[in-house]
Structure 1
């Protein structure tokens, strides 16, 4: 008779532990060594079981910190004033942003149209990754009119928050002019950065933010991991909570 692979049996046992509430959302699982001792196997077998749980979306690993039970999807309000840090803190999560690229180049047609620039005008482009409690939840690209916001590149080098960086260069407040939402499958590179499977669903938002005078200051695209964020829409004439 065929035997159940040991790693599969461990995966089943840990899945039951999570389902029964022995490990709750956000809890750290025991170390590989502790799990190996519990099940009487080597750490390689435990590692394979944990990898399968991660592929199923039940757990995620933090480099140097261990393996954690996946949080329930985070509510992320989309309204007149969308603020990444504020939204996650309101949901009880610890926000962080990693900037991967900061460059100046010529605006493409869509960027020029959204930012009310002439084709080819210089724009500052900021690419990066958004995290909640150390787990990647989204990739972002923010495009800014360079001539309108001198010093923004230096500000973004010092603070990863777009809101704080804009305040440093004379934009103390901004509001959402428009947001478009669509679904996309994750590409191979997006999957690696978000630690999800290639082809997993992403929620893409494309938005324009404007200053108090109504001038566009940011054209942003965000790709949210579909199973980690729930976008909640609010009247753009009012404020998001």
Structure 2
């Protein structure tokens, strides 16, 4: 028999796999108990856990509902946030929170193939799906290579569009990595999740048609709202 943590994980997996939308009412605890072969108290503890993770919300006298947008996210050589979200018939948007220039760290310099003394653009963005916060990301690009980047922020509809506007028509993902951690306080606030809810961290690098690094990124996602395929 599954324990309440396993049941919670199974419910979250089912919501993502079936593309269940925000606002959908879950079956009753009795029905869930029959589906998972578990007693009512285990189902109740599983639902409580998913509430703490920010996945579900209970309405007095009405039932339990899905709170956050759930995304089945495909990482490939042509990964696109907008494409992944539109596959779910959802509307993707991006908010450019901050753009600053600074000296590259040794790690970023290696990733971009530039000198350690070089300057980079550090772009911080918040991505939404149907108006709900879904992803925080930092994108790093060489300032010397793309000096006009800041001129295109007001009209760019996303990072892929921004790259096209600065001359990068053919960009592909060369490598990706995934890890998990707890969110920082400001990340939890921007993503509108409890600080006790874990996040997935996706790191990637994009290169041009000749294999020269164009951009590296680190994005933070609520673990309860995303299922990643590589």
User: What range describes the TM-score normalised by the shorter chain of this pair?
Assistant: 0.7 to 0.9
What's the counterpart of residue 98 of structure 1? 95
Cα shift readout 1:112-147 (whole Å, capped 9, x = no counterpart): 010001002011111011111111111100000111
1:167 and 2:172 equivalent? no
State how many pairs are aligned.
181
Matches within 5 A, 1:27-176: 27=23, 56-59=54-57, 69-71=66-68, 73-176=70-173
Checking the alignment, whether the CA contact within 8 Å between 2:171 and 2:207 is kept in structure 1 is yes
TM-score (norm 1): 0.69
Q: Provide structure 2 residue ranges, at least 5 long, that are not aligned to the other structure.
A: 1-19, 26-49, 59-64
Which of 174, 185, 208 aligns to 1:188? It is 185
Against the structure 1 CA distance between its residues 146 and 217, is the aligned structure 2 distance closer, same or farther, given a 3 Å change threshold? same
Task: Work out the CA distance in 2 between the residues paired with 1:201 and 1:96.
Answer: 23
What's the offset of the Cα at 1:150? Answer: 2.6
Checking the alignment, whether the CA contact within 8 Å between 1:186 and 1:201 is kept in structure 2 is yes
TM-score (norm 2): 0.72
Matches within 5 A, 1:200-211: 200-211=197-208
Task: Work out the CA distance in 1 between the residues paired with 2:69 and 2:116.
Answer: 43
Against the structure 1 CA distance between its residues 56 and 128, is the aligned structure 2 distance closer, same or farther, given a 3 Å change threshold? closer
Task: Work out the CA distance in 1 between the residues paired with 2:106 and 2:195.
Answer: 29
What's the offset of the Cα at 1:103? Answer: 1.0
Checking the alignment, whether the CA contact within 8 Å between 1:80 and 1:176 is kept in structure 2 is yes
Cα shift readout 1:71-95 (whole Å, capped 9, x = no counterpart): 5621010111111111110122111
Against the structure 1 CA distance between its residues 179 and 224, is the aligned structure 2 distance closer, same or farther, given a 3 Å change threshold? same
1:223 and 2:227 equivalent? no
What RMSD over aligned residues (CA atoms) do the two structures have, in Å? 2.3
Checking the alignment, whether the CA contact within 8 Å between 2:55 and 2:225 is kept in structure 1 is no
- Runs of 4 or more consecutive aligned structure 1 residues displaced over 4 Å after TM superposition: 52-56
Task: Work out the CA distance in 1 between the residues paired with 2:187 and 2:69.
Answer: 21
Checking the alignment, whether the CA contact within 8 Å between 2:54 and 2:67 is kept in structure 1 is no
What's the offset of the Cα at 1:57? Answer: 2.5
Which of 22, 25, 28 aligns to 1:26? It is 22
What's the offset of the Cα at 1:59? Answer: 4.6
Against the structure 1 CA distance between its residues 230 and 115, is the aligned structure 2 distance closer, same or farther, given a 3 Å change threshold? same
Secondary structure of the equivalent of 1:212? Answer: coil
